Structure 1
Amino acid sequence: MGDGAFDFWNAVIKHWPTTHHQHCWIHKTVNVLNKVLKSVQSRIEEMLHDIWM
């Protein structure tokens, strides 16, 4: 995981080209919440937090 660390990812890609990129839980949560209705966002956020914890 290396959010915003572009030099880091350039080095990872160079040395381990099959490595998968992954966002941190905060960015993952924000991405999911941006895709769902506002009326269910708080419940989904709680559920994602339960998964993370």
Structure 2
Amino acid sequence: MKELVIFVVVLVVLFWIGVKLQRWISGASKISKNQKKILEEMKRQNKTEDRK
């Protein structure tokens, strides 16, 4: 019985860590996509200012 409780607790902890990692990874990819969009927008603005 004690082994079963330990096994369940370990599974719950691993699941929790997996969820946290998934949120962190997806959050990081969203941030990098936003940074790329911002960088491209700044490049566009610089090109239009250079033409003036």
Normalising by structure 2, we get a TM-score of: 0.28
Structure of greater Rg: 2
Q: More helix per residue: 1 or 2?
A: 2
